[in-house]
Chain A
Amino acid sequence: MSKTLLALALSLSFGAGAHAESLGEPGRGSGAKNPLNNVYFGEQHLHTVNSPDAFAMGTRNTPDDAYRFCKGEAVKKSTTGEMVQKQTPYDWCAVTDHAEYLGIMPLLLEKDNPLQKTEIGKLIASGDPKKGEQAFQLIISSAGAGKPISYMADPKIMSSVWEKQKAVANKHNDPGNFTTLIAFEWTSIPMFQNLHHNVFFRDDKGPEAIFSQFDSIKREDLWTYQEVQRAEGHENFSIPHNGNVSNSLMYAPTTSDGTPIDRQWAERSNRNTPATEIIQTKGQSDTHPALSPYDEFADFELSYKHLLGSGGVVGKIDHSYVRQALVDGVGFQEMIGANPWKLGIVAGADSHNAFSDNEEDNYTGVHGDTDKTPKIRLTSGGTVAGEAPKDFGTPGATGVWAPENTREAIFDAIKKKETFGTSGPLIRVRFFGGWGYDPALVEDQEFVKKAYAGGVPMGGDLPQKPGAAKAPSFAVWALKDPKSGNLDRIQIIKGWSARGYSWEKIYDVALADGRKVDPKTGKASPVGNTVNVKNASYTNTIGDSQLAAVWTDPDFDPSQHAVYYVRVLEIPTPRWSTYDAKALGIDPLPDVPTTIRERAWSSPIWYTPDAKLVKKLEFYPGLQQFLP
C-alpha cells in the first residue's frame, strides 16, 4: 500500500472510534479493571542472600532489596557498595530462593516444640519485645564467654526463613501499584541435568511447607506436592527453566522412570506447569541451530552451554528446547489425546545478586563477587560453575496481559498463558487467533477490542473451525521499548504434526522500512546495522516503532494439529559486553558477539482438529524416542 492510500485508509477507518476512555484504562483508585488488559512487565525468577549459593558468592542483598530494586528504587549493591537502579521499573516481582535451605528451620513457636521450655525459648515465645531483648543479651554474653548454649546449636530454635520470605513478599505487595508473588525454587538436578522449577502461589498465606530436591528429584512428586497444596487452598503453578542445560531431560518423551508418557501424565503436566522460561542469564531455550537449521535467527545467546556443576560437559540438544517441545506437544495431542507441553512463555533473570538486571546498557552482573565489575566480567578469567561471565546474558523480561495489577490478576494471567517473554527490552506484543480477521484491522483504532471479540488471545485454543472457514487468521501487533532499538520484523512460527513427525516453518508477517519477502528465496533482506562497536552506540534510523499484521496461514491443513507463536526482532544493538569494553577502553571480546538481536516471544495459540478429520497413525516415529 502506498503512503497516500494508507493515509486515505486511515481517514476512512478512524471515524467510528469510540471515545478513548472506553478502551478502559480507568483512573487511579477507581477500582475498575481494564477488560482489554494492560501489559504488566515483571520478574519471576530471582535469588537473594537467602539462597546459599548466592550467599557463598558474596551476595548480601535481601529479598527486601530485590523488591525495592524491581520497584525502581536505587539500592546499594552489597558486593561493590555502588548504587544500582533500573531505568524502567517493573510492575511485579517474585523472589524464588532455593527451597533446599529455606524450609529446614521450623518455627520455634510451633506448639509442643520442646525448645519452648528453654530459657531463650521462653523469652522469645512470650511475644514480649522486652524479653526478646533479654534473650538477645543472653546470646551476646554466651558468645562473649566463648561458651555455647547447648540448645542453640539446634536448628529448630530458628524461625523458618520461608516464613520470612512470605512476610517480605506480602509487605511489598501493593494491589494496583506493585505485585509480588510468594514463590520458591525446586532445584532438582539429577546427574547434572537441570530440571529446576519455580513454584508460585496465588494466596497471601502461602503453604507451610515447601518442596526441595531433598524431598524428591522427580517432577511427578513435585506435581503431587502442588496438588496437595492446591487442595489445601494454596492455588499454585510451577515454571521450569534452562531446558538448554537439561541434557535432553526437560522435554523428554518419557517419565522420570523412563516409561513413555501417557495421557494422564500429560494432563498432570498441563495442570501443574502452564508456562516455561524461554530465556534468562544462562542462555535462551527457544531453539538451537541444530534443531532449527532453516531459522536464520536461531543462533542467539548460546554461549552458555555446560551442564551445571558437571565440570565442563556440554549438554545434549534434543528435547532441551521449548520450540521442539511445543511442536512435539501437538504430536502428542494427536497420538495420546493430550499435550504434555502446552506451555505459555515467560522469561526471567535467575540473578544471584537480588537484582533483576534486564537492561543491556545498565547491566552490573548477576553472580555476586564473580562478575561484579566490567573488569572482572571481561578480564578475570574466573567462572561460575565452569562458565565465564562473558557467556552469560542479561536477564529476560516477562510481559503479562492482565486487567489490573494485583496478585490474583497476574497469577491468573500467567496460568492462562496470556504472557510473553523478551530477551530484556520491554517490547509489547499482542497476538490473537481466529477464523476471519479483516486485514483492515491493523489500521483500526479498535484493533484490540475487535481482536478479542473475533478470536482468542495468546495462550488460547482456536475456537472450533466454522464450516466455511478455509484457514485461521492471526492478528499481531508489536510496539518497541521506547528506551531500546526499533523493531526489524514480526514472525509467526508454526509447528505441526504430519505423518508421525514434527515440522516447523517461520513466516515473516510484518517487516519494517517497507521491505517485502522475496518470493524466490522466501526471505526478507536484512534490516541493516547501525551499531558502532567502538562507541557501543546505535541509531534508530532503521526499523519501525511498531509493526502490525493480519496473517492467514497459507499452508493450513484442517486435519493437522498445529501450534503458532510470535517472535519479534529488534534491529541490532550492542551486547552488554560491548558496553563494558567501551567503559574499560578495550576492544570487545573476540569470542562473544558484539551485537545482539533482542527479541520477544509470545505464548502460542493452538489448533486442534475435529476428531473426524484426523486419521490416527499406528506409529509416530518422531515421538518414539527414549532417553539414551
Chain B
Amino acid sequence: MPPSRRFAFVREPLVHFLVLGAAIYGLYALFGGPAEDAPDHRTIHVTAGEIAWLEGSWEKRWNRGPTPVERAGLIQEYVRESVLYREALAMGLDKDDTIVRRRLAQKLEFLSQDLLAPPAPDEEELRPWFTARAERYRAPALVTFTHVFVDPDRREDRTLADAEAIRAELQALPSPSEGSDALGDPFMLQRYYPERSQPEISKLFGTEFAREVVGLSPGQWHGPVLSGYGVHLVYVHHREDARDPEFAAVRERVAQDWDDERRQELNDEFYAQLRARYTVVVDDEPSSEDVAALEADSR
C-alpha cells in the first residue's frame, strides 16, 4: 500500500473537525470551563409547547399534521439541533463570531422595529407635513406624441436629407394621425405614445431624446431629433404641465411616507438611548473632521 493511501483518513474533513473540536473542548475544560456540567445541563427536555410549535410549523407547510413517524423525525431533529447547540455553547463557539454577533444585533433591531409602530397620524398632523414636502408628490409633466423613425442603418449618408424630405411630407398631411404611418422606416416601438413623463420617455428612447421631446411645442412636426436608435421626426399632440397634487389623491402615499419617517426616528431614538448607556473608547480614534463629514453625509 503506498503511504499516501495509508494516511488518507488524515485528509478527511470530518477527522479535522473532530480533532479540532476535541482540541477546543479540551482547552476550554483546562482554562476556565466549569469542571463538571451541572446535571440540568445534561437534560434536554422537549416540552409539549415545543412539540406543538414543531407540529404547527409542519402543518402550515404541508396543510396537514405530521404522521406519527414524521412527528418522531421532527422531534429527533430538534433534539439533534439542541445537542449540537449545547455543545457549541459549551465550547464557546458563540464568542467572537462575526455572524453570531451580527445576528443578535439584527434580532434586537427586528424586535425594536416591531414595538415601534407609530400611531396612525390624524389630518392635522399629516396636512402640514404634506405641504412642506409637496414637491415630492408633484405629478410630472406629460407629453402625448407621435414619432416617425428614419433608420441610419438603412439610409446611411442620406439619413438627414431623407429626414428633412419626410418632415416636409409630414407637414403637408391634413392631420398628424392620418398618413404618417406610411412614412419612415419600420421600428419596434410604438409610433404613438399618450401621456408619457420624461423618465418614461427616457426608458424607451434614451435620456437625450426624452429631454428634447418634453421641450417641444405642440401642434407641429419637429426634427430631426436624435435617439440611441437613430433619427426621429416628432409631433407633440398635447402637453400637460407638471402640477401639484390634491392632498386627497395622494393621502395614502403621504401617510405611508409619514409612517416610514416616524419609524426611522423611533429606531434612531431607540439606538440613541441604548448608546447613551455606554462609554466608548476607541484606540486610534478617527479625527473629528472625519466624524463630522460622516454625520453630514448621513443627513
Residues of A at the B interface (CB closer than 8 Å) are 3, 6-7, 10-11, 14-15, 17-21, 23, 25-28, 49, 52, 55-56, 64, 72, 76, 81, 87-89, 105-106, 108, 114, 124, 129-130, 132-133, 135-136, 139-140, 143-144, 152, 155-159, 161, 171, 207-209, 211, 215, 224-225, 228, 231-232, 428, 430, 442-445, 447, 477, 479-484, 512-513, 544-546, 548
Contact = CB atoms under 8 A, between A and B. Distances in A.
B116 A136 contact: yes
Given A55-B102, A81-B298, 11 more contacts: A20-B191, A25-B190, A81-B294, A89-B199, A106-B53, A155-B107, A430-B188, A479-B229, A480-B229, A483-B228, A548-B186
A233 B62 CA distance: 14
B172 interface: no
Interface stretch (B21-29, B37-45, B177-185, B214-222): B177-185
B9 interface: no
Given A52-B103, A158-B107, A545 B63 contact: no
B213 to A, nearest CB: 13
A479 B53 contact: no
A479 B188 contact: yes
Interface string B111-128: 110111111000000000
Interface stretch (B86-94, B147-155, B280-288): B147-155
A224 B178 contact: no
A209 to B, nearest CB: 3
A106 B114 contact: no
A545 B192 CA distance: 20
B186 A445 contact: yes
Contacts of A232: 63
Interface string B136-163: 0000001010100001111110000000
Contact of B112 (A10, A87, A136): A136
A88 B153 contact: no
Contact of A545 (B99, B142, B229): B229
Given A3-B155, A81-B298, A443-B186, A129 B194 contact: no
Contact of A132 (B115, B142, B277): B115
B171 interface: no
A108 B209 CA distance: 53
B85 interface: no
A171 B114 contact: no
A56 B99 contact: yes
B60 A28 contact: no
Nearest to B273: A140
B155 A28 contact: no
Contact of B256 (A72, A171, A208, A477): A171
Name the interface size band of chain B: 35 or more
Q: Which 6 A/B pairs are nearest by Cβ-Cβ distance?
A: A482-B228, A209-B60, A482-B206, A20-B191, A17-B181, A20-B192
Interface string B271-299: 00110010000000000000000100110
Contact of B119 (A55, A129, A157, A482): A129
A26 B116 CA distance: 43
B189 interface: yes
Nearest to B293: A81
B4 interface: no
B192 A21 contact: yes
Given A27-B195, A132-B115, A480-B229, A208 B60 contact: yes
B82 interface: no
B187 A129 contact: no
A358 to B, nearest CB: 13
Nearest to A135: B115
A106 B188 contact: no
A6 B274 contact: no
Nearest to A224: B62
A231 B117 contact: no
Contacts of B189: 479
Contacts of A135: 115
A130 B115 contact: no
Given A144-B277, A224-B62, A228-B61, A158 B119 contact: no
B194 to A, nearest CB: 4
A63 B89 CA distance: 32
A446 to B, nearest CB: 10
Contacts of B57: 106, 209
A139 B111 contact: yes
Contacts of A484: 228
B265 to A, nearest CB: 13
A480 B227 CA distance: 12
Given A55-B102, A81-B297, A143-B277, A546 B188 contact: yes
Task: Name the prevailing secondary structure of the B interface residues.
Answer: helix
A442 B106 CA distance: 56
Interface in B200-240: 202-207, 209, 227-230
Contacts of B129: none
Nearest to A114: B49
A88 B117 contact: no
B98 interface: yes
A232 B61 CA distance: 11
B115 A27 contact: no
A362 B224 CA distance: 29
A228 to B, nearest CB: 5
B159 to A, nearest CB: 11
B110 interface: yes
A129 B118 contact: yes
Contacts of B118: 129
A144 B228 CA distance: 60
A49 B56 CA distance: 27
17 contacts: A3-B156, A20-B180, A20-B192, A25-B190, A28-B194, A106-B57, A108-B114, A129-B117, A136-B266, A207-B60, A209-B57, A209-B60, A224-B62, A430-B188, A483-B207, A483-B228, A512-B153
Contact of A481 (B62, B110, B228, B266): B228
Contacts of B116: 132-133, 136
A157 B49 CA distance: 14
Given A14-B182, A447-B186, A545-B151, A136 B191 contact: no
A124 B115 contact: yes
Given A19-B177, A88-B202, A10 B185 contact: yes
Contacts of B99: 52, 56
Given A124-B115, A482-B228, A548-B186, A56 B102 contact: yes
A214 to B, nearest CB: 9
A144 B209 CA distance: 59
A159 B109 CA distance: 12
Contacts of B188: 428, 430, 477, 479, 546
B242 to A, nearest CB: 14
Nearest to A103: B57
Given A157-B111, A209-B60, A215-B61, A25 B103 contact: no
A231 B63 contact: yes
Nearest to A34: B190
Nearest to A214: B77
Contacts of B187: 479, 546
Contacts of B182: 11, 14-15, 17
A136 B115 contact: yes
A20 B190 contact: yes
Contacts of B146: 20
B111 A445 contact: no
Contact of B186 (A28, A157, A442): A442
Contact of B106 (A14, A55, A443, A513): A55
Nearest to A30: B194
B119 to A, nearest CB: 4
A172 to B, nearest CB: 10
A26 B181 contact: no
Q: Which of B183, B188, B189 has the most CB of A within 10 A?
A: B188
Most buried by B among A52, A139, A428, A480: A139
Given A26-B194, A28-B142, A130-B119, A544 B153 contact: yes
A545 B277 contact: no
